[in-house]
Amino acid sequence: MPRYALKIEYHGAPFSGWQRQEGLPSVQGAIEAALARIEPGQHRIAAAGRTDAGVHALAQVAHCDMAKEWDPFRLSEALNYHLKPQPVAIVAAAPVAEGWHARFSATERRYLFRLLVRRAPATHQDGLVWQVRKPLDLDAMRQGAAHLIGFHDFTTFRSTICQAKSPEKTLDEITISETPGLGGAEIHFHLRARSFLHNQVRSIVGTLERVGAGSWAPGDVATALAARDRAACGPVCPPQGLYLAGVGYPDDPFAD
């Protein structure tokens, strides 16, 4: 059966998350239903990462198996037609080898977290950012983030219901930058790793926000990490500012 990689963008607010759940709206379920409209039958797709309820994606990647050969452009167009009016878009489709897997073939995941700093309520960014009212110290947050780079036991920064076999992960990058915007300054957190634990990004960003606000010292992040105790973590930030921004593969199926 021909296999295709799909690059997917979605607004996570209407969904219970990526993963198909009985009786609840999901991104996976929406795409599988669209696939059934263009090729009747049961479809099961696999993704690079399972985003939680309210989390968005700029470039999620999944793969699907089809009964016939499709022109990639026509496949994406047909799926987008049947996905309307849901906030899900197939940005690109590409043929891949039979053994290629959106999750297991991936070598890195990249996440973006958007934090809006302003007192007035968010309007255009509502549902797309986490808003805080008081200014944050970027240098302090960067100092705190530096303690998390590299290979560590991230027990402190993962959900108690995380199903990963080990809490040990290598965090390759945390970049924190300020981006001026029409509605107020945004602080962007870019995180990159081969894989992430459940709630790891939101736990890290929530903790670093406490550093930026002055409630934690940068060194407190190292202390929390060394504790290997979920109770030592700062608050977990809300999901609406989080985006799966990209997935890396040894041979990018979407490369021109």
* Token code pair at residue 53: 């309820």
How confident is the model over 140-187, as pLDDT tens digits? 999 999 999 999 999 999 998 888 899 999 999 999 999 876 667 899
Identified catalytic residue from 52, 137, 153, 220: 52
* Token code pair at residue 143: 């100092």
How confident is the model over 46-64, as pLDDT tens digits? 999 999 999 999 999 999 9
What is the DSSP code string of 164-233? -S-SEEEEEEEEEEEE--TTSEEEEEEEEES---TTHHHHHHHHHHHHHHTSS-HHHHHHHHHHT-GGGS
Closest CA to 5 of 253, 224, 178: 253
Q: Identify the structural domains of the chain with CATH numbers, from first to last.
A: 3-105 (3.30.70.580), 108-246 (3.30.70.660)
Amino acid, res. 94: A
* Token code pair at residue 59: 């470039």
Annotated catalytic residue 153: no
- Strands 130-132 and 108-117 come out as parallel
How confident is the model over 14-28, as pLDDT tens digits? 999 999 988 999 999
**Rg, C-alpha atoms of the chain:** 19
